[in-house]
């Protein structure tokens, strides 16, 4: 069922912040790297500005790129509410397009967003565009889910309980679930549905589904991509707090630098 027909009818853009209110462990990481590298910053796949607004609040100019104009409208509403709209530039476009800013200190791609590029050629294009936009010494930083692809394949069709959160806007309790409908072990491509049940304060319930097709990267894929794009791997960690990357880590977090010519 297309997501807009399922349950509550809240669009991905309007539902984004509430549906991700429980995902905040990375915010200090992005703020610290923006402060270390300096602006301008480009936030690729910025969605509703979860990271953009936080970085702009620290005084940096941020170019927020997203293919979804409604996400960008929500992002600008949030930037205005926080009084940072003069430093935020919302750009409708793809992360495979030339970036809208030059001499960037940081190109950030938070929350697994590179996984949305299903065509391998697009992955290289995205890194090349970031390399073009960075100033020497600048960095492209992104996090990706660890694939755990065999386990993921075994879980295909199972409803996974991924926790709960509260919508700060109206007090709804959000119960989060996920289901992998397709898992291609050879390519790492998967079809994933996020299932969110809202329990309203009066006890009534509505539900919404968010369907995604994703590429789950193995850590081995990144160094050759970086090299082809002209970026140097500075580090890879197993989380946002410099955890070592171990096989059972939840994510891999990459820093790629543009070296002086």
Q: How far apart are CA 132 and CA 104, in angstroms?
A: 9
Minimum Å gap between C-beta 95 and ligand SAM is 4
Please, which residue, 160 or 185, has the CB nearer to ligand SAM?
A: 160
Q: How far apart are CA 32 and CA 246, in angstroms?
A: 23
Q: What's 134-150 look like in SS3?
A: EEEEEEEEEEEECCCHH
Helix (H, G, I), strand (E, B) or coil at 250: coil
Minimum Å gap between C-beta 114 and ligand SAM is 9
Please, which residue, 111 or 229, has the CB nearer to ligand SAM?
A: 111
Cβ pair 60, 40 in contact under 8 A: yes
Q: How far apart are CA 12 and CA 45, in angstroms?
A: 13
Minimum Å gap between C-beta 260 and ligand SAM is 28
Q: What are phi and psi of 82, to 5 degrees?
A: -95, 0
Please, which residue, 21 or 199, has the CB nearer to ligand SAM?
A: 21
Q: How far apart are CA 112 and CA 216, in angstroms?
A: 9
Please, which residue, 113 or 152, has the CB nearer to ligand SAM?
A: 113
Minimum Å gap between C-beta 71 and ligand SAM is 4
Please, which residue, 117 or 226, has the CB nearer to ligand SAM?
A: 117
Minimum Å gap between C-beta 194 and ligand SAM is 10
Judged by the rule CB under 6 A, the positions of this chain that interact with ligand SAM are 44-47, 50-51, 65-68, 71, 94-96, 110-111, 113, 116
Q: Which residues of 213-242 are buried (b: 16+ CB within 10 A; e: fewer)?
A: ebbbbebebbeebbeebbbeeeebbbbbee
Cβ pair 215, 152 in contact under 8 A: no
Please, which residue, 122 or 199, has the CB nearer to ligand SAM?
A: 122
Minimum Å gap between C-beta 201 and ligand SAM is 26
Please, which residue, 52 or 152, has the CB nearer to ligand SAM?
A: 52
Q: How far apart are CA 261 and CA 259, in angstroms?
A: 6
Minimum Å gap between C-beta 24 and ligand SAM is 10
């Amino acid at each position: 069922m297309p997501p807009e027909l399922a349950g509550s009818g809240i669009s991905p853009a309007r539902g984004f912040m509430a549906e991700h209110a429980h995902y905040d462990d990375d915010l200090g990481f992005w703020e610290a790297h923006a402060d270390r590298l300096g602006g301008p910053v480009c936030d690729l796949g910025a969605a509703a500005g979860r990271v953009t607004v936080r970085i702009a609040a620290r005084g940096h100019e941020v170019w927020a790129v997203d293919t979804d104009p409604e996400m960008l409208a929500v992002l600008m509403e949030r930037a205005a509410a926080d009084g940072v709209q003069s430093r935020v530039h919302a750009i409708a476009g793809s992360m495979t397009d030339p970036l809208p800013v030059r001499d960037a200190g940081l190109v950030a791609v938070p929350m697994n967003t590179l996984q949305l590029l299903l065509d391998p050629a697009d992955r290289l294009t995205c890194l090349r565009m970031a390399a073009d936009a960075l100033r020497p010494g600048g960095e492209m930083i992104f996090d990706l889910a660890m694939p755990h692809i065999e386990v993921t394949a075994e879980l295909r069709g199972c409803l996974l309980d991924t926790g709960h959160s509260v919508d700060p806007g109206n007090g709804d309790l959000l119960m989060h679930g996920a289901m992998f409908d397709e898992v291609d072990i050879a390519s790492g491509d998967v079809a994933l549905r996020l299932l969110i049940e809202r329990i309203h304060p009066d006890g009534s319930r509505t539900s919404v589904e968010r369907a995604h097709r994703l590429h789950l990267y193995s850590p081995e894929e990144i160094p050759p991509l970086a090299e082809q794009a002209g970026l140097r791997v500075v580090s890879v960690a197993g989380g946002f707090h410099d955890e070592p990357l171990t096989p059972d880590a939840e994510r891999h977090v990459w820093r790629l630098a543009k070296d002086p010519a």
